[in-house]
Amino acid sequence: MTQLSIPTTALGERGQIPLIGLGTYALDGEAGATAIATALQNGYRLLDTAAQYLNEETVGKAIRQSGVPRQELVVTTKLAGADHGYDKTLAAARASLQRLGLEYIDLYLIHWPNPSVHLYAESYRAMLQLADDGLVRHVGVSNFKPAHLQRLFDETGVWPALNQVQLSPALARTELRRFHAEHSIATEAWRPLGADEGVPSNRNVTEIARKHGRTAGQIALRWAVQQGIVAIPKSGRTDRQLENAQVFDFELGDADMAALATLDLGEAAAWDADTHEEF
Ligand code: NAP
């Protein structure tokens, strides 16, 4: 068993969240549960699932199988698009808790804003109620743009603790991150390895990786955590889980960061939450 040491960053007013967590999309069944449990035994403490992934039961099973004390974990799940609305959100959270076999969710996110449905602010209000009731520790969102975030604040006076967005050196989301920083919203990166945008094979990335004696994936993840961005790479393989979390013993210099900045494809290359909706 490897004992990883994964540093944390601020979440909300009093919370902390590990800078590297485990994405669990498509990790399911016996093999999925074992892969997740092994990650926890090796030192991962942040898990990312969603009602939409249909694997909350597997995640719950993995937590129990791991033997890691519940209070050490940050378990994230997400409200599915079909469950937007105040009452539906309350019911969906309870259903997620039941599938996970947990008494509280550490971080509950709205998966996509689905603006055509016009109910994400209602869901957010219900999630704040769930936090008041002790069923949720931190309320956050995913795939929200600044206008969606602003609307949540205008309607409730509360900024979400975190926004989980598509983010890698090729999708740097600079403006969005500036907005987050202004309002103390933590930034979390999904698909942080940027494979769809060619990050692992990019010449600048492979050159920096060679120089530091690291893999391309580790360069992409170091780029994120060095800027205080939480990243949740998914791997079903223990060797890759370990590799992905071992990014805290080297540093990218100014020249490395400048070379990585040239990869950014711009905001238009990211999935647009004004038009992309998921249910
Ligand atoms: P990712 O973590 O960037 O990449 C995962 C892929 O890379 C898998 O095919 C994995 O294969 C492979 N991989 C992992 N580590 C590797 C390494 N060190 N070297 C080479 N290949 C490696 O992308 P993602 O799974 O799409 O995103 C991560 C998590 O974000 C998801 O699991 C999910 O929890 C979350 N997510 C959220 C949203 C949202 O809308 N909020 C959308 C997408 C994803 P193996 O498993 O075979 O290693």
Going by C-alpha positions, the residue among 19, 7, 5, 2 that lies closest to residue 186 is 19
CA distance 57 to 38: 16
- Residue corresponding to tokens 């967590």: 21
- Ligand 1 centre distance from Cα of residue 87 (Å): 32
Q: Are 160 and 149 in contact (CB under 8 A)?
A: yes
Amino acid at 122: E
Decide whether any atom of ligand 1 lies within 6 Å of the 24 Cβ: yes
Pocket lining: 214 vs ligand 1, CB cutoff 6 Å: no
- Closest CA to ligand 1's atom 12: 235
Q: Beta-carbon neighbour count of residue 134 at 10 Å?
A: 9
User: In angstroms, what CA-CA distances link 29 with 61, 129, 156, 171, 208?
Assistant: 10, 33, 39, 32, 37
Contact (Cβ atoms closer than 8 angstroms) between residue 208 and residue 251: no
Residue among 230, 224, 74, 119 at smallest CA distance from 164: 230
pLDDT of residue 2: 77
Tell me which H or E stretch contains 230: strand 230-231
Which residue do the tokens 């990166």 mark?
Answer: 189
Q: Count of CB atoms within 10 A of residue 182's CB?
A: 10
Domain ranges of the chain: 14-194+227-237
Take residue 175 and report the two structure tokens written for it. Answer: 């403006």
pLDDT of residue 1: 73
**Average pLDDT by stretches of 10, the chain with 279 residues:** 92 96 98 98 98 98 98 98 98 98 98 96 98 98 98 98 98 98 98 98 98 98 98 98 98 98 97 93
- Residue 2 phi, psi (nearest 5): -95, 135
According to the CATH classification, is domain 14-194+227-237 in 3.20.20.100? yes
Atom 10 of ligand 1 has which residue's CA nearest to it?
A: 235
pLDDT at 257: 98
Ligand 1 within 6 A of CB of 243: yes
Q: What are the two backbone dihedrals, phi and then psi, of residue 212, each rounded to the nearest 5 degrees?
A: -90, -5
- Nearest to residue 108, comparing CAs of 181, 33, 176, 56? 56
Residue among 176, 193, 246, 247 whose CB has most ligand 1 atoms within 8 A, to mutate: 193
Q: How far does the centroid of ligand 1 lie from the alpha carbon of residue 94, in Å?
A: 27
Question: For residue 270, how far is its CA from the centre of ligand 1 (angstroms)?
Answer: 16
Residue nearest to atom 30 of ligand 1 (CA): 190
The residues assigned a catalytic role are 53
Question: What's the gap between Cα 152 and its chain centre?
Answer: 19
Contact 75, 82 (CB under 8 A): no
Alpha carbon dihedral 243, 102, 135, 79, in 10-degree steps, equals 60
